[in-house]
């Protein structure tokens, strides 16, 4: 047993063993510390867009930190085993030229990835369209961007092709809604309810631009109702939910005034 402990102790005390362990531990500590510091920056975003942009930047720099720390750790471990690291670094000049020619597309991806952030093409969480594929940006890296649609399908795009992408989230979406009110309700009364009760509440819906909400007037004299038209604008990727919220408000406000949504009615006349 003592002999076995001596053997283990001799192995552990060798520079080639404890040096590697210490190097890996320090590299892991540096990566984790860097990650925590970068992730803490996300909380400083005041608006939703700022926070989303910070998430994108943090993910990018986490990738850079990971590869940089990994390369330095490998060089330190090689030097522990007696490899001439300085000679390797010097030789990287020639090798780098060869590698650079072979990895032109990769460098294009990295450079364009930086441009994506600086030019605000999109951030993680934005809804984008690439060719006929539309989805949410779920991951952004040095080489590629991952987009996931509502069906769970994931599309991976090389960053060098990003100029072909369309950011839907940064566009405004106009939404129009007809409010059907029975003919028996006076037009002045109906407009008063719309302007004083419905419009102010629609302005408070999340992602709706309050200044854009407006009543446009009588839109149609339908078979069983008068249709009053309102319009508002919101974030393009949020317009379906905003429309649902607006419809709910309309139903609730009309119900408060005992106004039911009219439905098609058919009058039948017959002679005896």
CA dihedral sign of residues 227, 233, 236, 241: negative
CATH number (domain holding residue 91): 1.10.287
Do both 232 and 219 map to the same domain? yes
Residue 153 located in a structural domain: yes
CA distance 157 to 145: 5
Task: Report if residue 269 sits inside a domain.
Answer: no
> Is residue 140 helix, strand or coil?
strand
Residues 180 and 250 reside in one and the same domain: yes
Q: Are residues 6 and 98 in the same domain?
A: yes
The rounded distance, in Å, linking the Cα atoms of 122 and 131 is 16
Contact 52, 120 (CB under 8 A): no
pLDDT tens, position by position, 240-251: 888 899 999 999
pLDDT < 50 positions in the chain: 102
Residues 133 and 177 in one domain: no
State how far the Cα of 32 lies from the Cα of 182, in Å rounded to an integer: 64
Instruction: Give me the number of domains the chain comprises.
Output: 3
- Domain for residue 247, yes or no? yes
8 and 91 part of one domain:
yes
The pLDDT assigned to 67 comes to 79
Does the predicted TM-score (pTM) go above 0.75?
Answer: no
Q: What is the pLDDT of residues 226-236, one digit of tens each?
A: 999 999 988 76
Please give the residue range of the domain that contains residue 207. 172-256
Q: How many CB atoms lie within 10 A of CB 159?
A: 25
pLDDT given for residue 28 in this prediction: 85
Last residue of a domain, one of 167, 199, 224: 167
Q: Tell me the C-alpha distance between 76 and 20, whole Å.
A: 8
- Residue 192 belongs to domain with CATH number: 3.30.70.100
Angle between helices 104-118 and 48-80 (to 10 degrees): 140
- Residue 116 maps to a domain: no
In this structure, the answer to whether residues 7 and 98 fall within a common structural domain is yes
- Same domain, yes or no, for 157 and 247? no
C-alpha span between 121 and 124 (Å, rounded): 11
For residues 246 and 205, the answer to whether their CB atoms sit within 8 Å is: yes
Residue 239 lies in a domain: yes
């Amino acid at each position: 047993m003592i002999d076995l402990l001596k053997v283990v102790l001799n192995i552990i005390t060798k520079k080639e063993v404890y040096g590697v362990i210490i190097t890996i531990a320090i590299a892991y500590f540096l990566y984790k510390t860097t990650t925590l510091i970068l992730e803490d920056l996300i909380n400083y975003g005041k608006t939703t867009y700022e926070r989303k942009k910070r998430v994108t930047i943090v993910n990018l720099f986490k990738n850079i930190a990971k590869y940089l720390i990994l390369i330095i750790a490998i060089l330190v471990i090689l030097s522990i085993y007696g490899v001439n690291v300085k000679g390797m670094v010097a030789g990287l000049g020639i090798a780098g030229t060869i590698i650079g020619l072979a990895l032109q597309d990769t460098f294009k991806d990295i450079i364009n990835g930086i441009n994506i952030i600086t030019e605000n093409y999109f951030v993680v969480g934005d809804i984008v369209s690439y060719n006929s594929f539309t989805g949410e940006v779920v991951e952004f890296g040095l080489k590629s961007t991952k987009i996931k649609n509502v069906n769970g399908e994931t599309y991976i795009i090389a960053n060098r092709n990003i100029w072909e992408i369309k950011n839907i989230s940064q566009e405004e979406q106009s939404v129009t809604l007809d409010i059907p009110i029975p003919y028996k309700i006076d037009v002045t009364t109906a407009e008063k309810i719309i302007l004083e009760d419905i419009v102010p509440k629609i302005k408070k819906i999340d992602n709706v631009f309050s200044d854009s909400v407006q009543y446009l007037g009588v839109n149609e004299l339908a078979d069983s109702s008068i249709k009053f038209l309102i319009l508002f604008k919101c974030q393009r990727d949020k317009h379906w939910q905003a429309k649902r919220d607006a419809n709910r408000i309309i139903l609730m406000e009309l119900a408060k005034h005992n106004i039911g949504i009219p439905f098609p009615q058919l009058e039948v006349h017959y002679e005896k």
